[in-house]
């Protein structure tokens, strides 16, 4: 097995076995893990406390039954999965769960957590242009920090936070580099592997993830760039799972050359900048810098333009919108983006993403037709 294959295999294992990743971390450090609900959280705080932040983004292909007690069938697919796993006690080993509430479903779910772990809920200000919004979010983060310190019995110092911020910034920078490398080497980093590199990031200390991804990038870049005889696409949406769906991308030679997925590149888009202000203030300010996301208010609706630019810059053939089933914020963005794509002549396709689904024939037809159309 080559070095690249070894690293990818390691990251795929972590992405597929989060419980093992958490248990290994506990055995190694004696400390626990804290759940991080979608979409944006001050993860650096958990890291600074010495705990492992664990992303909670549902599960692949799990049948929903218990969650039906609490959620209507038309609640978003990730939350259905999260509720099902909560009911089964899957998250009860977590020392706490940090919960942002940028959409109605998250807000409601935060109020009826069925697991035994304590839940720390905070709110992002949506009027993001005001200085008062920064101050509001600092106060929210102070409350998150206070509760984390209480539940974890750890003092989160500014020095530890600064160190964690630096580690996270480095990881985000390395992942942005990875996105470019994956675009250049689709024969080496296919859609499933690309996703695994992002997904493993949710279940590892970022410094360890950074080290592995750096090594991966170095190994891949040492190879000659080969011409790609398939098509290139930019994908957008909340997430693009399960792997069976990504296998179809591979089957039809659709290389993902950039993404705007909430689970992937939106997590690495914005850094916490250096400055004279304290760490919490700078972390709060990062939220104001966030752009192109359906849950972050943007009166100018710049997401479509951002995707058009990404398509042009990467030389992509098209944009694929991975529409999370029953996700209101994403559905609201779609007609605006669609009109802009059409006006600019950007080929585009919408596919539906449902984590529960186990049959992929319909999406296969859509993707095959799309490839034939390009």
Partner 1 sequence: MYTLGIDVGSASSKAVILKDGKDIVAAEVVQIGTGSTGPQRALEKVIETSGLKKEDISYTVATGYGRFAFKDADKQVSEISCHAKGIYFLVPTARTIIDIGGQDAKAIRLDNNGGIKQFFMNDKCAAGTGRFLEVMARVLETTLDKMAELDEQATDTAPISSTCTVFAESEVISQLSNGESRNNIIKGVHLSVASRACGLAYRGGLEKDVVMTGGVAQNAGVVRAVAGVLKTDVIVAPNPQTTGALGAALFAYEAAQKN
Binding site for partner 1 (CB under 8 A): 325, 342, 348, 350, 352, 354, 357, 359, 361-362, 365-366, 368-369, 372-373
Toward partner 1, which CB reaches closer, 22 or 235? 235
CB of 304 to partner 1, least distance (A): 16
CA-derived radius of gyration, the chain = 20
Rounded CA-CA distance 53/50 in Å is 9
Q: Least separation, in Å, of the C-beta of 326 and partner 1? A: 10
Least distance from partner 1 to the Cβ atom of residue 366, Å:
6
Rounded distance, CA 20 to CA 311, Å? Answer: 37
Nearest to 346 by CA among 314, 312, 303, 321: 312
- Whichever of 109 and 321 has its CB closer to partner 1, that residue is 321
Residues 282 and 275: beta-carbon distance below 8 Å: yes
Give the bridge partners for 97, in sequence order. Answer: 35, 119
Task: Print burial letters for 9-28: b (CB count within 10 Å at least 16), e (below 16).
Answer: eebbebbeebeebbeebeee
User: Could you give the CA distance from residue 316 to residue 182 in angstroms, rounded to a whole number?
Assistant: 13
Whether 98 and 152 have beta carbons less than 8 Å apart is answered as no
CB-nearer residue toward partner 1: 264 or 333: 333
Minimum CB distance to partner 1 smaller for 301 or for 364: 364
**Of the two residues 95 and 254, which places its CB atom closer to partner 1 in the complex?**
254
Q: Smallest gap, in angstroms, from Cβ of residue 329 to partner 1? A: 18
To partner 1, the closest distance from the beta carbon of 73 in angstroms equals 10
Tokens standing for residue 275: 């400055």
């Amino acid at each position: 097995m080559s070095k690249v294959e070894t690293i990818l295999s390691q990251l795929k294992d972590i992405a597929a076995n989060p419980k093992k990743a958490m248990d290994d971390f506990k055995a190694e450090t004696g400390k626990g893990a804290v759940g991080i609900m979608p979409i944006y959280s001050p993860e650096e705080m958990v890291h600074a406390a010495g705990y492992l932040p664990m992303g909670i983004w549902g599960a692949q292909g799990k049948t929903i039954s218990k969650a039906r007690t609490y959620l209507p069938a038309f609640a978003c697919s990730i939350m259905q999965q999260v509720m099902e796993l909560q009911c089964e006690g899957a998250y009860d080993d977590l020392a706490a769960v940090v919960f942002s509430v940028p959409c109605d479903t998250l807000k409601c779910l935060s109020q009826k957590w069925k697991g035994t772990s304590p839940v720390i809920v905070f709110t992002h200000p949506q009027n993001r242009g005001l200085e008062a919004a920064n101050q509001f979010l600092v106060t929210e983060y102070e409350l998150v920090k206070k509760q984390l310190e209480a539940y974890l019995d750890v003092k989160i110092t500014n020095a530890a936070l600064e160190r964690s911020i630096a580690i996270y910034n480095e990881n985000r920078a390395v992942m942005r580099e990875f996105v470019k490398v994956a675009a250049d080497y689709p024969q080496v980093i296919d859609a499933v592997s690309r996703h695994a590199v992002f997904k493993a990031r949710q279940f590892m200390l970022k410094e360890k993830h950074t080290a592995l991804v750096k090594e991966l990038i170095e190994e891949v870049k040492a190879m000659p760039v080969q011409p790609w005889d398939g098509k290139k696409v930019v994908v957008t949406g909340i997430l693009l799972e399960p792997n069976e769906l990504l296998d179809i991308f591979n089957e039809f030679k659709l290389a993902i050359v950039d993404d705007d997925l909430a689970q992937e590149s939106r997590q690495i888009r914005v850094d916490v900048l250096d400055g004279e202000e304290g760490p919490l203030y700078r972390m709060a300010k990062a939220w104001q810098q966030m752009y192109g996301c359906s849950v972050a208010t943007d009166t100018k609706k710049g997401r479509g333009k951002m995707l058009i630019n990404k398509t042009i810059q990467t030389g992509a053939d098209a944009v694929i919108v991975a529409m999370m089933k029953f996700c209101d914020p994403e559905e609201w963005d779609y007609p605006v983006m669609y009109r802009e794509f059409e006006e600019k002549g950007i080929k585009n396709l919408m596919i539906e993403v449902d984590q529960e689904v186990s049959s992929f024939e319909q999406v296969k037809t859509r993707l095959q037709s799309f490839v034939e159309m390009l």
